[in-house]
Amino acid sequence: MRAVVQRVSNASVDVEGKEIGAIKQGLLVFLGVEKGDTDKDLEYIVNKVSGLRVFEDADGKLNLSVVDVAGEILAVSQFTICGDCKKGKRPSFDNAAPAEVGNEYYEKFIAALRAENIKVATGQFQAHMYVSLVNDGPVTILLDSKKTF
C-alpha cells in the first residue's frame, strides 16, 4: 500500500463540476492499494498518516501530527501511485489491486481515520476527479507499507 501525503492549507476534489470533498488545514492523502496488501499494510499506513509529525510546533519544528493540530484529511483513491516505470516510458499498473479490493481498503482507510476522531473528506472511487490543493511548505511525504522507499 502506498500513500502520497501532502500538508495543505486547503484542498478539495470535484467530480463532474461538483465539489464532493474539501478540507482546510490538514493532509491530502492519495492512497494506492496494491495486489497482496493486507490489513497489516492498512494498519501501517493509517498509523503513519495519523501520527506523521509534519506540522510545526511553537518552536517552528515539525513536531505535531494532524491529530495534534485538529487538522482534517482529504482521502483520494489513486491507483496510479502503484505504477511501475522501470521499463519503458508508459507506466505498468499490473501491481495495482483489483478495483473491488482497492475500494474495500480505501473504505477501511477512511473508517480507521474516522475512528481516531479525525475529520475525513473523500474523493469518489473510480471517478475522474479534479483535485485542487495549496501545499503548505511545501511538505510532501511518500509512504510505502512494504518500505521499498
Give the span between the Cα atoms of 72 and 27, in whole angstroms.
6
Question: Is 79 a catalytic site residue?
Answer: yes
Tell me the one-letter amino acid at 34.
E
Catalytic: which of 6, 55, 78, 109?
A: 78
DSSP character at residue 63: E
Helix (H) or strand (E) holding 33: none
Catalytic: which of 30, 55, 79, 109?
A: 79
Question: Is 122 a catalytic site residue?
Answer: no
Question: Is 78 a catalytic site residue?
Answer: yes
Catalytic: which of 38, 80, 126, 140?
A: 80
Length of the chain: 149
DSSP character at residue 34: B
Q: Which three cell numbers stand for residue 5?
A: 501525503
Q: What are 96's strand-pairing partners? A: 34
- Give the catalytic positions in this structure: 78-80
